[in-house]
């Protein structure tokens, strides 16, 4: 599936539906990152809402903003060459090669403005789905779907945070799209782009998730997926129902995952500092609000032992995107946005 097809809106007004498009960029040299997201929420009762999100991370300093507007005042459009999304002051344009975004958000204590563009990486940036089959994207299970139209992207542009200027040129990150009838009851999700210390070029990436879904009114055990790309090689651990081949452990603020599959074995560990996270209140159309404990500067360690080839390790001190979704907030991560 192409990046354009992966980003097409799945919105059906009048149904319980939540859908988001999000972009993350990391400074390869320091624990700085920006994350923006456009969300649409509709309910079977006729309610309809759009949200503009932005979070920034700079060592121990973080901040997050969220703006709610009526859905009829927002724009979620698809055309032959991409998508155009507007939620209040947030704009996101997507094509088959990348995209660009601009916007500004303010609250009582802080202000953010950004203007950036990104292009896909020629070797690592092919559209990605961790699910083993594209048919599952239209199936009732899992109840929330995730695709990554641009798993590795390079950025240009800038942001202004309370008068401080950041040059985003040479930053790396990704763009994702998810949708479903609700947020997953619980999950950990992680993604990381690994860059060469010499020339800052991306040479590997990982994306993984451990989450629960609703099946027949019941909540499932944790189901995990993991994909590793390194150079021209891709290692997939996507047999999502082989629970005996998965060992996930969600121990906030640490997530570990061991996977076995036809490509070998892989072990992932991601750890965030609660002082460097934000807590985002994620509304559900017909269920209680969930809370996303969100880091974009997590430490990442991956060990892969392929069936064919030598084992290798990937490490990053501060370029990991790590999210925990929980039914209740955690006091160590404040404030709740």
DSSP calls for 170-203:
T-EEEEEEEEESS--SEEEEEEEEEE-TTT--EE
Q: Which residue has the tokens 């809106």?
A: 9
What pLDDT score was predicted for residue 152?
98
Strand-strand pairing, 48-58 and 61-70:
antiparallel
Burial class (CB in 10 A: 0-12, 13-18, 19+), 244: exposed
Residue 123 is predicted with a pLDDT of: 95
Q: Widest CA span of the chain, in angstroms?
A: 56
Distance (Å, whole) CA 325 – CA 52: 19
Distances in Å between the alpha carbon of 311 and those of 106, 267, 314? Answer: 47, 11, 11
What is the distance between the alpha carbons of residues 75 and 162, in angstroms, rounded to a whole number? Answer: 28
Q: What are the helix and strand counts (H, E) for the chain?
A: 1, 24
Tokens of 21: 């498009």
> What are the phi and psi torsion angles at 96 (to 5°)?
-80, -10
- Listed in sequence order, the DSSP H helices in the chain are 3-7
Cα→Cα distances 332→60, 115, 131, 187, Å: 13, 31, 33, 18
Whole-angstrom Cα distance, residue 243 to residue 221? Answer: 9
In 3D space, the residue among 78, 87, 77 whose CA is nearest the CA of residue 5 turns out to be 78
pTM of the model: 0.96
Q: Do residues 21 and 149 make contact, with C-beta atoms less than 8 angstroms apart? A: no
Taking the C-alpha atoms of residue 88 and residue 115, their distance in angstroms, rounded to an integer, is 15
pLDDT of residue 244: 81
pLDDT of residue 280: 98
Name, in order, each residue with C-beta under 8 angstroms of 212's C-beta and a sequence gap of 6 or more.
184, 185, 186, 187, 219, 220, 221, 222, 223
Cα(233)–Cα(71) distance, rounded to whole angstroms? Answer: 42
Q: Which residues contact 264 (CB under 8 A, 6 or more apart)?
A: 235, 304, 305, 306, 307
C-alpha 267 chain-centroid distance? 20
DSSP percent split of the chain into helix, strand, coil, nearest 5: 5, 60, 35
7: nearest Cα among 104, 121, 83, 119: 83
How far is the first Cα of the chain from the last one, in angstroms, to the nearest whole number?
34
Low-confidence ranges of the chain (pLDDT < 70): none
Quote the CA–CA distance of 43 and 48 in Å, as a whole number.
6
- Determine contact, residues 40/74, Cβ cutoff 8 Å: yes
């Amino acid at each position: 599936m192409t990046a354009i097809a992966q980003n097409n809106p799945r919105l059906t007004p009048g149904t319980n539906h939540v859908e988001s498009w999000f972009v993350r960029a990391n400074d390869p040299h320091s624990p700085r990152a920006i994350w923006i997201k456009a969300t649409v929420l509709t309910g079977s009762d006729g309610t309809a809402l759009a949200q503009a999100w932005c979070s920034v991370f700079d060592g121990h300093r973080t901040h997050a903003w969220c703006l709610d507007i009526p859905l009829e005042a927002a724009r979620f459009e698809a055309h032959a060459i991409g998508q155009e999304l507007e939620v209040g002051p947030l704009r996101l344009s997507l094509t088959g090669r990348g995209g660009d975004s601009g916007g500004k958000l303010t609250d009582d204590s802080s202000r953010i403005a950004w203007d950036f563009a990104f292009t896909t990486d020629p070797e690592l940036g092919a559209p990605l789905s961790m699910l083993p089959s594209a048919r599952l994207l239209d199936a009732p299970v899992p109840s929330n779907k995730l695709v990554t139209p641009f798993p590795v992207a390079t950025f240009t542009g800038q942001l202004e945070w309370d008068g401080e200027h950041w040059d985003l040129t040479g930053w790396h990150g990704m763009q994702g799209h998810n949708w479903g009838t609700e947020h997953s009851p619980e999950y950990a999700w992680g993604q990381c782009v690994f860059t060469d210390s010499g020339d800052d070029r991306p040479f590997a990436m990982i994306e993984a998730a451990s989450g629960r879904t609703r099946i027949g009114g019941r909540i499932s055990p944790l189901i995990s997926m993991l994909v590793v790309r390194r150079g021209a090689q891709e290692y997939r651990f996507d047999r999502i129902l082989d629970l005996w081949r998965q060992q996930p452990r969600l121990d906030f603020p640490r997530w570990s995952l061991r996977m076995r599959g036809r490509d070998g074995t892989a072990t992932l560990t991601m750890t965030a500092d609660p002082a460097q996270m934000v807590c985002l209140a994620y509304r559900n159309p017909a269920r209680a609000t969930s809370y996303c404990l969100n880091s974009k500067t997590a430490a990442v360690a991956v060990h892969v032992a392929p069936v064919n080839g030598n084992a290798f390790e990937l490490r990053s001190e501060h370029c990991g995107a790590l999210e925990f979704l929980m039914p209740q907030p955690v006091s160590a991560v404040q404030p709740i946005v």
